[in-house]
Structure 1
Amino acid sequence: MSDPAQRYQSVFAPDLFKGQVIVVTGGGSGIGRCTAHELAALGATPVLVGRSEAKLQTVAGEIADDGGQAAVAACDIRDEAAVKRAVASIVARHGRIDALVNNAGGQYIAPLDSISAKGWDAVVATNLTGGFLMARECYTQAMKAHGGAIVNIVADIWGSMPGMGHSGAARAGMVSFTETAAVEWAANGVRVNAVAPGYIASSGMDHYPPEAAGMLREMRKTVPLGRFGTEAETSAAIVFLLSPAASFISGTVLRVDGARPQVRMGWPMGMPDAEAAAHGAVKPFDGFHRAQTPKVFSS
């Protein structure tokens, strides 16, 4: 077991989710991995869902080493039958599902006129259809009977996503799904919200081609707060929406983006000065003790 000083430093109460079972898709890396760690540190049993069982088992092992517990349910969220089986197995093993973090997703850089139907369908299936299937099954197989909370992870789609139009369309669809589900499932005590990360320094950045490295490193200059966000800052937003403190919040999107969508021509983009960065609201929150700097920033 790791030194207590080297465990997740959450701002939330240690037993906030004690005894709860919380499904986290895409739990093998990036924001999903970080969120699973925080939930485990707060007493939950995160059930890690993804296609690579090896990656999920690695994260589950990390959580165990830190004194928590996690379970694994390998599944391709784009496969309806597989999703049904995976959720059924989680309910059979744990007896309940209290919450779902619909985090799994992915896309690639391409202008619209070069995207094939196959490429479009693959991104929409991952970022929209898969999230719908996971939410529907967690609702019908568990939450419909005893309530729960769902947080869908979308993206900074305000102004859309030139260069990744397939992902922008899918994420916008997930926002609409979030709003609809919040209404339709409210009578059964289920809250549905979304978190929209902006430019987050996560392992997902390393999945882009090498020629995108320069652009990725420069993106912080378009953010009024002058930096990238951290995985822990995104996880904190997710945890808040899952918590009792958000019990009257449903159907909304919480942006974690440093005010980037508000940037307008004609307003100077000055970087926060050193004192503001060190002591003010722009100081990063780095509660995740196992955070890994994306390779694109260390090269």
Structure 2
Amino acid sequence: MSRFTDKIAVVTGAAQGIGAATAHRLAEEGAAVAVVDLTAERAQGTADAINAKGGTARAYGCDVADHEAVEAVFAQIAADFGTLHILVNNAGITRDGLFFKMSKNDWDTVLAVNLTSAYNCAQAAQKYMVGQRYGKIVSLSSRSALGNRGQANYAAAKAGIQGLTATLAIELGPYGINVNAVAPGYIATAMTAATAERVGSTTEDHQQLAAERTPLRRVGRPEEVASVVTFLASEDASYVSGQTLYINGGAR
């Protein structure tokens, strides 16, 4: 398949998990990928793996919660690749804890990395997309946007992604830019493993409990989220915009 031939994609938080899987899938289908993570060293492993398989990728370091740093790295990406066509806002962290004892720092940090980063990156990317009257923006929300005990900060940020997505679709649509989001349920990643540790469980037991509550009776894989992200970034979804698609095995 070559849905993304001659397309330049930027994926944030791409050192591991869903971000890495998405970077790989875009590259496999022909895109040149800017692999962005907190440091270039963290991103290099994903870029190297893509290049080793015959794809095209470069690693970039950036704190996506820092507006000026984002502007600088997007300018560098555009200089290196010529432009950009696809943005996947995947960078995210958790700082879980019950609301009554959640620190201001944990609130601010999670909102900055999960929500403000999407604003930063989308604002930087749209400058290139508007000029060429073409672009695809896909951001990572979460099932937690509907509410999740111990994740007031994360839930608020991921609900914000959905509102931001709907609004950007309205504002950027006239310039040929599609804006969508995906909201994964339980996906087997380092982040969910950290959640298991936080609640005093093993990764295996935590996943088993989640699987029992899911109609498909299993947890998801990063590659399954990546396949939906790449669909939304492709011309197969050319008339889809402003949507949040839940990827959760049928859970309610």
TM-score by shorter chain over 0.5: yes
Shift of 1:204: 2.2
Q: What is the aligned partner in structure 1 of residue 80 from structure 2?
A: 93
Q: What is the aligned partner in structure 1 of residue 232 from structure 2?
A: 241
**2-structure distance, mates of 1:158, 1:126:** 15
Structure 1 runs not aligned, ≥5 long: 1-13, 262-299
**1-structure distance, mates of 2:38, 2:176:** 30
3-state SS of paired residue (1:22):
strand
Please tell me the residue identity of whatever aligns with 1:54: E
3-state SS of paired residue (2:180):
strand
Q: Does 1:221 align with 2:207?
A: no
Shift of 1:217: 3.8
**2-structure distance, mates of 1:175, 1:52:** 27
Q: What is the aligned partner in structure 2 of residue 145 from structure 1?
A: 131
**1-structure distance, mates of 2:206, 2:18:** 21
Q: Does 1:32 align with 2:19?
A: yes
| 2:184 maps to which of 191, 197, 200 | 197
Please tell me the residue identity of whatever aligns with 2:222: E
- For residues 148-227 of structure 1, the aligned pairs below 5 Å read 148-157=135-144, 159-208=146-195, 209=197, 211-213=200-202, 214-227=205-218
**1-structure distance, mates of 2:111, 2:201:** 22
Post-superposition Cα deviations, 1:78-108, rounded to whole Å, max 9, x if no partner, equal: 1111001001111111111101010000113
Evaluate the alpha carbon distance shift between residue 95 and residue 139 of structure 1 in structure 2; reply closer, same or farther with a 3 A threshold: same
Q: What is the aligned partner in structure 2 of residue 74 from structure 1?
A: 61
Shift of 1:40: 0.7
Shift of 1:158: 5.5
3-state SS of paired residue (2:2):
coil
**1-structure distance, mates of 2:139, 2:45:** 24
RMSD: 1.2
| 2:248 maps to which of 240, 252, 257 | 257
3-state SS of paired residue (1:187):
helix
Any runs of at least 4 consecutive aligned residues in structure 1 with deviations exceeding 4 A, and if so which? none
Evaluate the alpha carbon distance shift between residue 254 and residue 17 of structure 1 in structure 2; reply closer, same or farther with a 3 A threshold: same
Please tell me the residue identity of whatever aligns with 1:181: L
Please tell me the residue identity of whatever aligns with 1:20: K
**1-structure distance, mates of 2:175, 2:82:** 18
Post-superposition Cα deviations, 1:39-92, rounded to whole Å, max 9, x if no partner, equal: 111110110111132221111111111111101221000111100100111111
Q: What is the aligned partner in structure 1 of residue 121 from structure 2?
A: 134
**1-structure distance, mates of 2:58, 2:156:** 32
Shift of 1:109: 2.3
Q: What is the aligned partner in structure 2 of residue 116 from structure 1?
A: 103
**2-structure distance, mates of 1:234, 1:223:** 16
Instruction: Return the TM-score normalized by structure 1.
Output: 0.80
Shift of 1:181: 0.2
Q: How many residue pairs get matched?
A: 247
Structure 2 runs not aligned, ≥5 long: none
Post-superposition Cα deviations, 1:109-168, rounded to whole Å, max 9, x if no partner, equal: 21111111111000000110011100111002x111112000001100364121111000
**2-structure distance, mates of 1:174, 1:184:** 15
Structure richer in helix, relative to its length: 2
Quick check: which has more Rg, 1 or 2? 1
Q: Does 1:19 align with 2:10?
A: no
